[in-house]
Amino acid sequence: MKRYGEHRFAGKLFVVEGIDGSGKSTQLMLLHQWLQAEGYGTVFSEWNSSPLVRDTTKRGKKKHMLTPATFSLIHATDFADRMEHNIIPLLKAGAVVLCDRYIYTAFARDVARGMDCRWVRELYGFAVKPTGAFYFRVPLEVAMKRLLDGRDGLSFTKPEWTWE
């Protein structure tokens, strides 16, 4: 995998991070609409959306088969596929790429699951440095209210990994 680091592509890469219910999707949608109205070519990239591994991830989660390391490697594969086939070509073409979650999600999630932080950072070492990254911090009560108001409730499932 090619290492990009600081990109010099014509396009711009903006990333938003935050817990579910923090407003990431809403704000990205509004930014997307505004950028398009201003004449910019704008596209979304979402976490865990590569067709290469999407079905494998769903199956592994449903059957509770994923260890922390397996989960990390599958998500890194998803991200690498999206980076090489979507994000980089769009940046080269001059588009504005808006990412709902980026490598920072992997850093937090994988390390919380017990993976070595240096290993995780090296695993995602090929990622392009964003033009801007924003973390949406919101009180948990606000995020929970947004989630509960927008859904038929929360689903509580057994984690697909266990602590060893």
In a domain, 159, yes or no: no
What per-residue confidence (pLDDT) applies to 164?
Answer: 44
In a domain, 153, yes or no: no
In a domain, 73, yes or no: yes
The structure's pTM equals 0.80
Which has the closest alpha carbon to 82: 63, 62, 97?
A: 97
Percentage of residues of the chain with pLDDT beyond 70: 88
Q: Do you know the residue count of the chain?
A: 164
CB within 8 A of 120, min separation 6: which ones? Answer: 72, 106, 107, 110, 111
What is the domain extent for residue 107?
11-18+41-134
Task: Tell me the HSE value of 138 on the side-chain side, using a 13 A CA sphere.
Answer: 18
Domain count within the chain? 1
User: Which pLDDT band holds residue 54 (cuts at 50, 70, 90)?
Assistant: confident
> pLDDT tens, 70-88?
989 999 999 999 999 999 9
> pLDDT tens, 97-152?
999 999 999 999 999 999 999 999 999 999 999 999 999 998 888 888 888 887 66
Higher pLDDT, 164 or 69: 69
pLDDT for residue 19 is more than 80:
yes
In a domain, 82, yes or no: yes
Secondary structure tally for the chain: helices H, strands E: 7, 6
In a domain, 112, yes or no: yes
The domain that holds 55 is classified in CATH as 3.40.50.300
Show the tokens assigned to 152: 């038929």
What per-residue confidence (pLDDT) applies to 151?
Answer: 66
pLDDT for residue 5 is more than 80:
no
